[in-house]
Amino acid sequence: MELNRSNTEIIEEFKKRRTRQIMAVGPIILAFIALLSVEGNPTGIFGLPPNIVLGISFALIISVLIFSLFNWRCPACNKYLGKAINPKFCAKCGVQLS
């Protein structure tokens, strides 16, 4: 655990990270809607050919996954927090998160 940060600061930082993580769901949903929209549609969407829509969608999904790897970390020990969206404690260092 990082000694120079108070528990309140760690909890506040975790809230910010959780909010960013939840907001990252939006682009993923849009990417999947775009992928479903081009399926069997030779004209694509918004005038873009299907291969361009597919490329943009996959790039967006990969970008959000990379963002998550950097964002979803314990504010105290900087270890990955795992799959839970609202952990109460860090499984690695035990600091209280919420």
User: Could you read off the pLDDT of 56-81 as tens digits, one per residue?
Assistant: 999 999 999 999 999 999 999 999 99
- Please report the sign of the dihedral spanned by the C-alpha atoms of residue 26, residue 30, residue 36, residue 39: negative
Q: Is the pLDDT of residue 37 over 90?
A: no
> What is the C-alpha separation between 64 and 43, in angstroms, rounded?
27
- Mean pLDDT of all residues in 67-96: 94
Rounded distance, CA 7 to CA 27, Å? 32
pLDDT at 5 over 80: no
- What distance in Å separates the CA atoms of residue 41 and residue 49, rounded to the nearest whole number? 9
Query: Does residue 3 register a pLDDT over 60?
Result: no
